Structure 1
Amino acid sequence: MKKNKFIIGSGILMMAIGLAACGKTNSATETSNNGTTKPINWMETADLSTLDPSKVSDAVTSNTISNIQQGLLVSGNNGKVNYGIAKSYDISKDGKTYTFHLRDAKWSNGEDVTADDFVYGIQRTVDPKTTSQSSYDMDHIQNYDEVQKGIKPATDLGVYAPDKHTVVFKLSSPQPYFKYLVTGTDFFPQKKSYVESKGDKFGTSSDNDIYDGPFTMTGWTGTNDTWNLVKNKYYWNAKNTKIDKVKVSAEKDTNTAFNEYQSGQLDEMMLSSKEQVKHFKNSPEYHQRTNSGVYFIEMNEKRVPAFRNANIRKAMSMIINRSQFTKDVMGDGSVPARGIAAQGISYNNGKDFTDASYVKDAATYNKDKAIQYWKKGMKEIGKKSITIDLLYDDTTLGKSVNEFLQNVAFSQLPGLKVTTSTIPMKNRMARQHSGDFDITVAGWETNYPDPISYLQLMTSDSSSNYGKWSNKEYDKLVKAASTTDANNKEKRWDDMVKAEKILMNEQGIIPFYQRSQPQVLKTNIKNVGYSATGAMWYLGDAYVEK
């Protein structure tokens, strides 16, 4: 993977992975002898990283947690927000106070879900001791900065519970997209007594967690690649949860997934190649899913001195033929990225943000101009050659990405030698967070339809700014859009457009592609929730048609 959201860590959105071939003989199209529906066999792209809501930083894990836990509000289809544990909420006229009213709900251990559980979970996310990668989602809550800096305790954060069924947020400034933020995992409730009883083991396996969502989880040890979602009898809306069990597994071989879907061992699959898309294109099982996931390349300016040179960065962006990549390598409907923000998620007066902020040279292939920039930059740094290592995931698509960048794109720059490292997504993300890379592919899937979700990634103090690019004017504009100009729609929009142009003109990151996700789903599986922003899949309302 923000949503933030999700560091779509690169392999995160690549729902190209299937279930293990051995031992699966039942499909959701079958029923057992007693007439109950067989489990749905669902495919994911990567292993889970944690079940701790405060520490989720990838979309695969977020998708899973959003089906076993539930927050105040829930991401719905087409960018809508539905009620979750909250049955209603109020917003003050100045936009700085949100009051959520909770329904009666229980944890999977039978204990009540209370307003204090939400307060504790949010305080724990912001507490610097937790080292959450997404605590900045809460940066508008009063006293956030002081808590993050250790000046004030987490209990001083501007969220409190006046009674068992009421959660109140006090914001330091208006935040137009706050309702979308509270759908995120980092806003989910956490039972203090349970978390403290588990200590460091909390969220490290399915046996070390409790659940308040439509499903509970079984079978995840913390390191294996299979797990089950099982109907939660304590869920407040359990009577409308139609699915008893979902068997989920992560597999890195897309051909295995394809064969298993064809043979009925999988009931759902995200297609990962143009050949697979072509095979299913005219099938009633085929769905083209829009996505907010944008992939981009970060250059580690702290580790590789050459990347501090703007001409070097511009050359490396301009030498990438994104159209060639999305057509010949992806072939799944993905499109070239126009910047760091996704197309089709935010508009002002009918104009898409990516059109308003577009810097053509920063995202367009031009070999001759790229080589000119490269030679100029190499002269400025006094080098004739440099060697860098490209870090990415060890998925099928990840390997194809590395091969394209290494052998098709970067090989055109004289004196540039590129080696590649392909490792599991979880390990890749850990290395990105620690700055242990030269150049890497990363990405972002937002929880909410607003450009600020992407722009805040590249501020100087962002934990997701892996490459350490920095610009004071950029920081100033992003801050203004989030604070002083938050209630001024036009000015806020202008702030964000200017910030994006600064990032692109300086080539702080290299835009790569925006993911589109072709999916096949057995036609008897109905009402699967899908959201281009926030958690991708919601199975709480799904059912199998007999």
Structure 2
Amino acid sequence: MKNLNKLMAASATLAIAGLALTGCGSKSSSSSVKQVLNWNEASELPTMDLSTATDTISFDMLNNSMEGLLRVGKDSKVEPGIAKSYKVSKDGLKYTFNLRKNAKWSNGDAVTAQDFVYSWRRTVDPKTGSQYAYLFDGIKNVDDVLAGKKPTSALGIKADGKYKLTVTLSKKLPYFKLLMGFPSFFPQNQKAVEKYGKKYGTAAKYMVYDGPFKMTGWTGSNLKWSLVKNTNYWDKKHVKLDKINFMVNKSTTTSYNLYQSKKLDQTILSTEQAKQLSNDSAYTVIKEARTNYLEFNQMKKEFQNKKIRQAISYAINRKELATKIMGAGTLPSKGIVSSGLAKRNGVDFADAAKTTAGVSYDKAKAAQLFKEGLKELGQSSLSFTLLGDDTDTAKKITAYLQSQLESNLPGLTVNVSNVPFKTRLSRSENGQFDVVASAWSADFSDPISFLDLFTSDNSYNNGKWSNAQYDKLVTASKTTDAGNRSARWNDMVKASKILSNEQGVVPLFQLNTPSLLRTNVKGVIHNTAGVSYNWKEAYLSK
């Protein structure tokens, strides 16, 4: 998900939180309660164009205002969406989806197979410049389409009439059904895209929706908007909320005050607030399949130096960062892949791929490597700017990193630039940074969702780190070894170790976010991987 560039990530922001709740309850339990939920967001909403969305907040909004062939429910269970049924060929390379005939867009148009064909072609069209186009890897002819060698019409998706859709793969994809519940694969209304042109997805009014809710009140730059029940949604009888109001508060002090005054039903908490409120009945800690990390701009000569990269990594006390700065169960990173995401034979991937290099704290080694790195560069000192978000939490993280690095690496000066989330994403994507505090949330429960990011040609590899052996292993895990679970696992473990040993990036911590959610808010689905929130069947009880 989520970059958290998906932002991060989409997997991507530094302090997004919520609550995994089960049990939808009966209508009678909520019929006398005003069904309006007031939700806090830590950062602004960048876009509603699913072809260009990259971050957690955009994907949360798209996941609840749009719907794909399938829908991802509790515990990442795949459920029917616009497709009422599907079948898979014996060789696993062809999926045939039967679409429901009562699905409509918010403008009254029928949702058809052609809407999916149009959407997928638009996303993989090189002219669109979608950073998430790489997720279409495995769809027939996608590589040639992305390279401009074949037209988008060659993509392995075909509409057989209005309500039958066939997808052809070039290789087996173990996570294909999960992808069908991810916003990048949702349909788009061609009429709306062409009508709004460059304005499409830039404000609530420049969109049409086929999901449980539709958006109102978002101008493209404001910090308040709403999702209201979509009366054209095919399954509207199971949508209990009339409205969800979103309010951006980058200060946890502000959001907590609004929560206390009952203007918010949910708020994230700072480490200090979490300590004080841990016994509150509304307190919870949200676990995320998300890694926060530092990314170097390796177009700059100082960060092409491996010893400089390693010195920066060894100078950071991740345990202290996780426990004292973040708190609430946040874990020091063992590598780029988050703990608990995937297991094989009872062994967690993060443990299988762990190395002493890449994530250890060693002040003496850090100082020595930095000294050696500077000598190789022919310099006596180094200065760089650390780019990060402007939320309260992000500022604490960058301030801590600045202090650690300057204290442990003599001759280093770190300037900090905290900017709005949307700005940080843009600068990262355009290579306008020295070192950036990034984050990534897994798009689905598989290590490849992290490892894919750092291949040489991945659009999310903003730092441009490159390693031929790493690329070879990741490619093998998705091609020649895709059908061999053991070989595929070993490929990914080896790749992760290379990333750590070469210090391609600096993994920091796995975010677990403390928050408050009123105890009468029920039925919110939160998944650690993929899109974070599903409010389709959420409601407020008495």
**TM category, shorter:** over 0.9
2:22: which partner in 1?
none
2:342: which partner in 1?
346
Distance 2:142 2:461 in 1: 20
* Structure 2 letter corresponding to 1:142: K
Q: Report the CA distance shift for 1:153/1:5 in structure 2 as closer, same or farther (over 3 A).
A: farther
* Structure 2 letter corresponding to 1:194: A
| Partner of residue 446 from structure 1, selected from 421, 429, 442 | 442
Note if 1:212 corresponds to 2:210: yes
* Structure 2 letter corresponding to 1:14: A
Q: 1:187: Cα distance to partner? A: 0.4
1:487: which partner in 2?
483
| Partner of residue 535 from structure 2, selected from 534, 539, 542 | 539
Distance 1:347 1:282 in 2: 33
Distance 2:17 2:213 in 1: 24
Q: Kindly indicate whether the alpha-carbon contact (under 8 Å) linking 1:243 and 1:542 is maintained by their aligned counterparts in 2.
A: yes
Higher mean C-alpha deviation, range 261-270 or range 293-302? 261-270
Q: 1:286: Cα distance to partner? A: 1.8
2:13: which partner in 1?
12
Distance 1:476 1:274 in 2: 41
**Partner deviation per Cα, 1:181-240 (whole Å, 9 max, x = no partner):** 121111010011221111111111111101111111110111111101110101011111
* Structure 2 letter corresponding to 1:218: T
Q: 1:152: Cα distance to partner? A: 1.1
| Partner of residue 266 from structure 1, selected from 264, 267, 276 | 264
Alignment gaps of 5+ in structure 2: 19-30
Distance 1:318 1:134 in 2: 32
2:519: which partner in 1?
523
Distance 1:352 1:192 in 2: 43
1:419: which partner in 2?
415
**Partner deviation per Cα, 1:16-41 (whole Å, 9 max, x = no partner):** 79xxxxxxxxxxxxxxxx95615211
Aligned ranges 1:4-83 → 2 under 5 Å: 6-8=6-8, 12-15=13-16, 37=34, 39-83=36-80
1:140: which partner in 2?
138
Distance 1:225 1:83 in 2: 33
Q: Kindly indicate whether the alpha-carbon contact (under 8 Å) linking 1:3 and 1:533 is maintained by their aligned counterparts in 2.
A: no
Q: Secondary structure at the match of 2:529?
A: coil
Q: Kindly indicate whether the alpha-carbon contact (under 8 Å) linking 2:16 and 2:41 is maintained by their aligned counterparts in 1.
A: yes
**Partner deviation per Cα, 1:111-141 (whole Å, 9 max, x = no partner):** 1111111111111100011111101000111
Q: Report the CA distance shift for 1:240/1:398 in structure 2 as closer, same or farther (over 3 A).
A: same
Q: Kindly indicate whether the alpha-carbon contact (under 8 Å) linking 1:11 and 1:46 is maintained by their aligned counterparts in 2.
A: no
Higher mean C-alpha deviation, range 370-379 or range 347-356? 370-379
2:376: which partner in 1?
380
RMSD: 1.7
Distance 1:327 1:188 in 2: 39
* Structure 2 letter corresponding to 1:201: K
**Partner deviation per Cα, 1:429-473 (whole Å, 9 max, x = no partner):** 101011010001111111200001111100001111111111111
Q: Secondary structure at the match of 1:463?
A: coil
Distance 1:384 1:92 in 2: 63
Distance 1:4 1:85 in 2: 27
Alignment gaps of 5+ in structure 1: 18-33
Q: Kindly indicate whether the alpha-carbon contact (under 8 Å) linking 1:315 and 1:370 is maintained by their aligned counterparts in 2.
A: yes
2:179: which partner in 1?
181
Higher mean C-alpha deviation, range 74-83 or range 528-537? 74-83
* Structure 2 letter corresponding to 1:92: S
Q: Report the CA distance shift for 1:4/1:414 in structure 2 as closer, same or farther (over 3 A).
A: closer
2:24: which partner in 1?
none
Q: 1:414: Cα distance to partner? A: 1.2
| Partner of residue 228 from structure 2, selected from 215, 227, 230 | 230
Q: Kindly indicate whether the alpha-carbon contact (under 8 Å) linking 2:36 and 2:242 is maintained by their aligned counterparts in 1.
A: yes
Q: Secondary structure at the match of 1:130?
A: coil
Aligned ranges 1:354-373 → 2 under 5 Å: 354-373=350-369
1:476: which partner in 2?
472
Q: 1:13: Cα distance to partner? A: 4.8
Distance 1:522 1:36 in 2: 14
Aligned ranges 1:249-398 → 2 under 5 Å: 249-271=247-269, 273-302=270-299, 304-398=300-394
* Structure 1 letter corresponding to 2:64: N
Q: 1:518: Cα distance to partner? A: 2.2
Distance 2:279 2:121 in 1: 49
Q: Report the CA distance shift for 1:143/1:11 in structure 2 as closer, same or farther (over 3 A).
A: closer
Q: Secondary structure at the match of 1:293?
A: strand
Give the % identical residues: 45
Q: 1:93: Cα distance to partner? A: 2.5
Distance 1:85 1:524 in 2: 30
Q: Report the CA distance shift for 1:4/1:300 in structure 2 as closer, same or farther (over 3 A).
A: closer
Q: 1:280: Cα distance to partner? A: 2.5
**Partner deviation per Cα, 1:243-294 (whole Å, 9 max, x = no partner):** 10111111111101011112211111222x2222123322221222211111
* Structure 2 letter corresponding to 1:411: S
Q: Kindly indicate whether the alpha-carbon contact (under 8 Å) linking 2:17 and 2:515 is maintained by their aligned counterparts in 1.
A: no
